[in-house]
């Protein structure tokens, strides 16, 4: 149906639809002393006046509620908690929000004076979002139904509180918070750290967590679990609702959100057309390397943007966003002002200008990163382009939902490959989505650094009694198995910093008073804690600002530290020249005509998910049977046929391994298709196991499809591989412990764990990033964390944070769970070992990764160009790499992150030996 009003000024329509479903999920155990759930308002409950006004508001827009929305409204009216899972743009926000209004808005008494200025209700609904940009957009959506409420009800006010909130607004909120507050996990923790936290937050009757999938799998989600447990302590009848569109493990996700409380799972099935296609190159190169397509797809991207009204162009990294935005401007200078750049390092005012331009339809295209992944409502967006692999099915669905963000409107996402094999991912993703396969996300288990931070927060927010807080914390999914000894260690750590820091007053952060209530005794320590609340840890950043002008954004200190005055870099879509660095600010001016560097930010390399990797292998197996059923497989067919002719294609039942001898040594290529993190662990483990038989030195290269081991001496891989590709002997915990021992022995675990410890030390409050205006540098933070690392190892080896650093290294950087599952799967597969006469299309990109380790870009480009020419000649083709300069121009596109995977200790090259000069390749 259509609305009689201007549709551009309205939120997305909510048309009549089918589907929906309700399930009751029971918790494993009840919480002692629990009171009945929150019930409707005592003054008339679900006011007929409120319901009539909201129904009228719906009808004015030509909307009819979906079945799943009515189910949510009923559940909220009954005082139930739960989770809503529905497609992007289906109307989840109004399903929960209108249910809250119907349940909690109170009718005013008839005798109330109509002349007196009504006072808004106290804080009643907390609305948590993972992003500041999403908070502003959500607030606008929530305010519209409030305007429809008449004078017969107690008024509600709405506001947002995040890092972007102005000081004036924050000051006003300190006097009185709005009735509904849209905020972030970090800002909620700051509210919990207020001395009057119980008084301010004790009236909250409902907490809503938007985009729960974005928080569930990381420490921010644990932070949310702890905060909700505190709110439930103050109001046992608190209703909690989560919303998501891309979760594969709904029951587990709801348990993580609600703890031990039973809940209602509502699944909204709204008919929505989703189009997933690929922008294919004219010719797919048969011997690709990471990012080899570079900007060759730019003309086709320009054509697609020109043919659409508004387009979002997603990249996986901020560096790539900068490159693509600049290239688009150079190709279409008349688009200046019509296209924009958006990523998290740009200044807030710049981001807000871009978001408003998208909403109004004034912008034709925006090149962006995950900063626009989530539920910001941009109705004018007609389609989405994804540059490079989405790395996962859930991420692909999330980004596709940015287009056609309303029921009944189709969503379209077009994949733009940066690598020939990525075309297979496009076909695989389409099949996985059709089958309903979406990645599961799991809550971290017992991160003690987050718990230590929470203890100080609660101590500031009125104090705590240890036994009571222990039971409260164990009510969360993350800490439901928290042992008493770990709890006691956390208490001792906040009380004195452990045995090694007991002499330092700065680490006596929380102590019991005469009544046994634990509080923060020092106002200075309280200020320090409030300034450093949160679990988001990144490299120290430096502001980028024009001389005598405005702020542009921020870049990581490690990037600017390598620059000198006069150097140029590309940032915010502008060519900038560095003038000087002073007080953690890089002062710049506009530049032109010079070759510029592109800033790099940490966290760029995302591994391929299991779900998408399995779907890719299925597609390769079909190709091996001669079935090229999709446009993507048809395009990449020449590459796959050469791979099959010279070697083989992987299948779910087989593990492909290739061996090759060159002047560099003996190469092994293995293709488990388990993602780069697992491949790094597997490669290190195999190299270590082989070295146990005979001392050897290996070089390692990894990508999402497989890995390479290169030894300068000959290795009998046919004899060794079956022995080293196994799980350790034993069963259960014994086998798991043996695998952990081998993995830790095979890598430079100390160095990697120390890097992880730096983040843990920041979250737990051992080190802090300074007060406003005195931000500490990355070197200062690194020195501080290194000092704690050495002190704990020497004087407090049982420190739980050291163990956590090791556990996080295994779980997150090496994904030990996926690594073990890969070894279990390998044990069931048939090993297909193919000796090679020359590199194959699958092994060639791994060889290029090793070249990049050892050679300059000029030498790498020269070698790639010559190798491709030789390989194409051997394959009977005439396609070349396009010359050394063209190859050199693509090398930046294969470097998604700021570093290489570290080599195992036993495989490291002696740094005292000068690197060998580049040599011509032998004839293949």
Among 362-376, 537-551, 879-893, the minimum mean pLDDT is found in: 879-893
Q: Which residues contact 800 (CB under 8 A, 6 or more apart)?
A: 448, 486, 489, 490, 493
C-alpha to C-alpha distance for 635 and 420, rounded to whole angstroms: 9
With cut-offs at 50, 70 and 90, classify the pLDDT of residue 5: very low
Domain total in the chain: 4
Question: Strand pairing partners for 244?
Answer: 85
Residues 429 and 396 in one domain: yes
Task: Over range 344-355, report the average pLDDT.
Answer: 84
Residues 131 and 147 in one domain: yes
Domain, as residue range, for 761: 448-536+750-812
Q: Which residues contact 733 (CB under 8 A, 6 or more apart)?
A: none
Q: Which residues contact 681 (CB under 8 A, 6 or more apart)?
A: 743, 746, 747, 814, 815, 816, 819
Query: Does the pLDDT value for residue 605 go beyond 80?
Result: no
Query: Does the pLDDT value for residue 904 go beyond 50?
Result: no
Which of 115-129, 594-608, 680-694, 729-743 is modeled with the greatest confidence?
Answer: 680-694
Q: Which residues contact 216 (CB under 8 A, 6 or more apart)?
A: 247, 253, 256, 257, 441, 442, 443
With cut-offs at 50, 70 and 90, classify the pLDDT of residue 886: low
Query: Does the pLDDT value for residue 761 go beyond 50?
Result: yes
Task: Over range 849-857, report the average pLDDT.
Answer: 71
**Which of 268, 299, 320 marks a domain boundary?**
268
| Cα Dmax for the chain | 97
Query: Does the pLDDT value for residue 865 go beyond 50?
Result: yes
Q: Are 672 and 706 within 8 A, CB to CB?
A: yes
235 within domain boundaries:
yes
Report which of 488, 419, 402, 529 is spatially closest to residue 89, judged by C-alpha positions.
402
**Which of 789, 812, 835 marks a domain boundary?**
812
610 within domain boundaries:
no
Mapping DSSP onto H, E and C, the string for 592-629 reads CCCCCECCCCCCCCCCCCHHHHHHHHHHHHHHHCCCCC
pLDDT computed for residue 887 by the predictor: 66
287 within domain boundaries:
yes
Query: Does the pLDDT value for residue 604 go beyond 60?
Result: no
With cut-offs at 50, 70 and 90, classify the pLDDT of residue 7: very low
With cut-offs at 50, 70 and 90, classify the pLDDT of residue 617: very high
pLDDT computed for residue 164 by the predictor: 72
32 within domain boundaries:
no
Mapping DSSP onto H, E and C, the string for 568-598 reads EEEECCEEEEEEEEECCEEEEEECCCCCCEC
With cut-offs at 50, 70 and 90, classify the pLDDT of residue 319: confident
Residue with tokens 């050291």: 802
- pTM attached to this predicted model: 0.82
500 within domain boundaries:
yes
More confident residue, 857 or 581: 581
Check residue 121 and report its DSSP letter: P
Residues 322 and 389 in one domain: yes
Q: Are 182 and 158 within 8 A, CB to CB?
A: yes
Task: Over range 468-479, report the average pLDDT.
Answer: 96
pLDDT computed for residue 917 by the predictor: 39
Beta strands in 631-785 (DSSP E): 654-662, 665-671, 698-702, 707-711
Task: Over range 803-828, report the average pLDDT.
Answer: 88
C-alpha to C-alpha distance for 151 and 77, rounded to whole angstroms: 22
C-alpha to C-alpha distance for 123 and 179, rounded to whole angstroms: 4
* 810 C-beta neighbours (distance < 10 Å), count: 23
pLDDT computed for residue 625 by the predictor: 95
More confident residue, 712 or 555: 712
pLDDT computed for residue 171 by the predictor: 83
Residues 263 and 180 in one domain: yes
Task: Over range 671-693, report the average pLDDT.
Answer: 91
Q: Are 309 and 105 within 8 A, CB to CB?
A: no
Which of 560-564, 582-586, 872-876 is modeled with the greatest confidence?
Answer: 872-876
pLDDT computed for residue 674 by the predictor: 93
Query: Does the pLDDT value for residue 668 go beyond 60?
Result: yes
**Which of 403, 435, 467 marks a domain boundary?**
435
622-637 pLDDT per residue, tens: 999 999 999 999 999 9
Q: Which residues contact 801 (CB under 8 A, 6 or more apart)?
A: 448, 449, 757, 760, 761, 764, 766, 792
C-alpha to C-alpha distance for 6 and 12, rounded to whole angstroms: 12
Residues 407 and 493 in one domain: no
Among 111-120, 540-549, 789-798, the minimum mean pLDDT is found in: 111-120
pLDDT computed for residue 277 by the predictor: 93
Residues 259 and 348 in one domain: no
Residues 547 and 477 in one domain: no
- Which phi and psi (to 5°) does residue 373 adopt? -65, -40
Q: Is 156 helix (H, G, I), strand (E, B) or coil?
A: coil
Is the C-alpha dihedral spanning 312, 314, 317, 319 positive or negative?
Answer: negative
Query: Does the pLDDT value for residue 40 go beyond 70?
Result: no
Residue with tokens 């036994």: 467
Residues 213 and 198 in one domain: yes
CATH number, domain of 101, equals 3.40.50.300
Residues 177 and 93 in one domain: yes
pLDDT computed for residue 411 by the predictor: 87
514 within domain boundaries:
yes
886 within domain boundaries:
no
C-alpha to C-alpha distance for 162 and 640, rounded to whole angstroms: 50
pLDDT computed for residue 27 by the predictor: 36
147 within domain boundaries:
yes
With cut-offs at 50, 70 and 90, classify the pLDDT of residue 148: confident
pLDDT computed for residue 120 by the predictor: 78
With cut-offs at 50, 70 and 90, classify the pLDDT of residue 372: confident
Residues 353 and 381 in one domain: yes
Residues 80 and 229 in one domain: yes
C-alpha to C-alpha distance for 59 and 55, rounded to whole angstroms: 6
Query: Does the pLDDT value for residue 601 go beyond 70?
Result: no
More confident residue, 695 or 795: 795
Span between the terminal Cα atoms of the chain, in Å: 66
Q: What's the whole-number average pLDDT of the chain? A: 82
With cut-offs at 50, 70 and 90, classify the pLDDT of residue 856: low
Residues 561 and 456 in one domain: no
């Amino acid at each position: 149906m259509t609305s009689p009003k201007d549709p551009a000024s309205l939120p997305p329509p909510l048309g009549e639809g089918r589907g929906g479903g309700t399930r009751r999920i029971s918790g494993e155990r009840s919480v002692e002393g629990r009171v009945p759930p929150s019930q409707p308002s005592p003054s008339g409950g679900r006011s007929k006046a409120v319901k009539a006004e909201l129904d009228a508001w719906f009808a004015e827009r030509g909307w009819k509620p979906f079945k799943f929305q009515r189910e949510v409204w009923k559940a909220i009216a009954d005082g139930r908690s739960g989770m809503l899972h529905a497609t992007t743009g289906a109307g989840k926000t109004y399903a929960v929000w209108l249910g809250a209004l119907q349940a909690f808005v109170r009718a005013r008494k008839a005798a109330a004076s109509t002349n007196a200025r009504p006072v808004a209700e106290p804080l009643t609904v907390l609305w948590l979002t993972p992003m500041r940009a999403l908070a502003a957009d959500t607030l606008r959506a929530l305010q519209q139904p409030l305007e429809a409420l008449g004078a017969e009800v107690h008024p509600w006010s709405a506001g947002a509180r995040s890092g972007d909130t102005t000081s004036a607004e924050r000051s006003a909120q300190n006097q009185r918070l709005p009735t509904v507050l849209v905020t972030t996990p970090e800002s909620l923790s700051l509210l919990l750290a207020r001395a009057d936290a119980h008084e301010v937050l004790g009236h909250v009757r409902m907490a809503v967590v938007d985009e729960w999938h974005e928080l569930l799998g990381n420490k921010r989600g644990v932070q949310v679990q702890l905060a909700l447990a505190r709110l439930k302590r103050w109001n046992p009848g608190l209703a909690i609702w989560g919303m998501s569109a891309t979760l594969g493990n709904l029951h587990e996700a709801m348990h993580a959100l609600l703890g031990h409380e039973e809940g209602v799972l509502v699944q909204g099935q709204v008919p929505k057309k989703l189009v997933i296609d690929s922008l294919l190159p004219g010719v797919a190169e048969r011997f690709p390397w990471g990012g080899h397509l570079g900007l060759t797809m730019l003309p086709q991207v320009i054509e697609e943007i020109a043919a659409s009204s508004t387009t979002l162009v997603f990249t996986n990294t901020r560096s790539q966003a900068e490159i693509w935005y600049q290239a688009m401007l150079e190709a279409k200078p008349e688009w200046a002002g019509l296209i924009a750049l958006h990523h998290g390092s740009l200044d807030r005012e710049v981001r807000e200008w871009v978001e408003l331009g998208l909403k109004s339809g004034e912008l034709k295209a925006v090149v962006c990163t995950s900063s626009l992944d989530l539920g910001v409502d941009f109705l004018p967006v007609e389609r989405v382009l994804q540059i490079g692999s989405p790395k996962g099915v859930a991420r692909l669905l999330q980004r596709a939902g940015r287009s056609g963000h309303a029921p009944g409107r189709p969503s379209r996402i077009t994949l733009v490959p940066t690598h020939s094999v990525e075309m297979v991912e496009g076909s695989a993703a389409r099949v996985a989505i059709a089958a309903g396969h979406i990645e599961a996300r799991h809550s971290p288990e017992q991160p003690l650094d987050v718990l230590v931070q929470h203890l100080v927060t609660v101590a500031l927010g009125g104090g705590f009694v240890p036994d009571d807080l222990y039971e409260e914390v164990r009510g969360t999914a993350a800490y439901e198995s928290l042992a008493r000894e770990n709890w006691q260690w956390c208490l001792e750590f906040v009380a004195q910093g452990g045995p090694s820091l007991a002499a330092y007053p700065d680490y006596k952060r929380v102590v019991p008073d005469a009544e046994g209530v634990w509080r923060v005794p020092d106002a200075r320590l309280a200020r320090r804690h409030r300034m450093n609340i949160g679990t988001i840890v990144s490299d120290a950043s430096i502001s980028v600002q024009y001389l005598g002008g405005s702020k542009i954004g921020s870049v990581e200190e490690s990037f600017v530290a390598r620059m000198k005055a006069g150097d140029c870099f590309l940032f915010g879509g502008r060519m900038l020249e560095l003038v000087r660095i002073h007080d953690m600010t890089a002062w710049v001016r506009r530049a032109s005509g010079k070759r510029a560097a592109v800033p790099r930010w940490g966290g760029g390399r995302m591994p391929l998910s299991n779900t998408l990797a399995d779907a890719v292998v299925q597609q390769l197996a079909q190709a091996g049977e001669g079935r090229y059923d999709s446009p993507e497989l048809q395009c990449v067919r020449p590459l796959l046929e050469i791979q099959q002719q010279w070697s083989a294609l992987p299948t779910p039942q087989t593990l492909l391994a290739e061996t090759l001898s060159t002047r560099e040594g003996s190469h092994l290529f293995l293709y488990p298709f388990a993602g780069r993190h697992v491949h790094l662990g597997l490669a290190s483990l195999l190299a270590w196991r082989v070295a146990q038989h005979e001392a050897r030195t290996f070089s390692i290269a990894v990508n999402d499809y497989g890995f390479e081991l290169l030894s300068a001496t000959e290795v009998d891989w046919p004899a060794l591989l079956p022995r080293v590709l196994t799980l350790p002997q034993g069963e259960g915990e014994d086998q798991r412990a043996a695998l952990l021992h081998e993995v830790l022995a095979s890598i430079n675990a100390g160095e990697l764990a120390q890097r992880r410890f730096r983040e843990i030390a920041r979250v737990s409050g051992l080190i802090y990033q300074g007060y406003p205006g005195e931000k500490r540098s990355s070197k200062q933070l690194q020195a501080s964390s290194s000092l704690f690392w050495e002190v704990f190892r020497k004087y407090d080896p049982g420190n739980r944070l050291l163990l956590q650093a090791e556990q996080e290294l295994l779980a997150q950087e090496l994904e030990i769970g996926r690594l073990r599952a890969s070894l279990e799967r390998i044990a069931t597969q048939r090993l297909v070992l193919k000796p090679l006469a020359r590199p194959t299309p699958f092994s060639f990109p791994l060889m290029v990764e090793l070249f990049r380790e050892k050679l300059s870009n000029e030498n790498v480009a020269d070698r790639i160009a010559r190798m491709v020419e030789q390989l194409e000649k051997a394959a009977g083709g005439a396609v070349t790499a396009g010359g050394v300069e063209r190859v050199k121009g693509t090398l930046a596109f294969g470097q998604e992150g700021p570093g290489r995977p570290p080599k195992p200790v036993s495989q490291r090259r002696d740094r005292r030996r000068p690197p060998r000069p580049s040599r011509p390749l032998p004839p293949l």
